Structure 1
Amino acid sequence: MPIVIQLDVMLALRKVKSKDLAVAIGITEANLSLLKQGKVKGIRLATLDAICDYLDCQPGDLLVREAQIA
């Protein structure tokens, strides 16, 4: 997948537990875990906005595009 979700990195930088983030933004810990692992095909903009608001970051801090080798 060329887009990598670096939510675990931001959680570590902010010293926030996954459980606390899940409760704060209103999603299950299981869904947050899938998101952290990159096992989702999409993310709602409202969810991304809530994550960024809680972690005080920008979407670009969480989503990184990997270079593809041709």
Structure 2
Amino acid sequence: MLIYLFQPPEEWNGGVGFVSKEIIQSNCPAPAPDIQILRCGPPPMNKAMAAHLNDLGYAPKMQFQF
């Protein structure tokens, strides 16, 4: 699971900032027919993530937004 916060609380020790293509590549499995990427967040983040995922070869059917 990849969790990044833009404005984390002080005690947060996970990822901070925007999720880039490089972060996706280093933390998520490569695109494959049995891979599903789930994303949840504000509309601008989901739009950026969809563009990154598409650029990296994740077909729209491999992506689920909730």
TM-score, scaled to structure 2: 0.28
* Higher relative helix content: 1
* Higher relative strand content: 2
TM-score, scaled to structure 1: 0.28
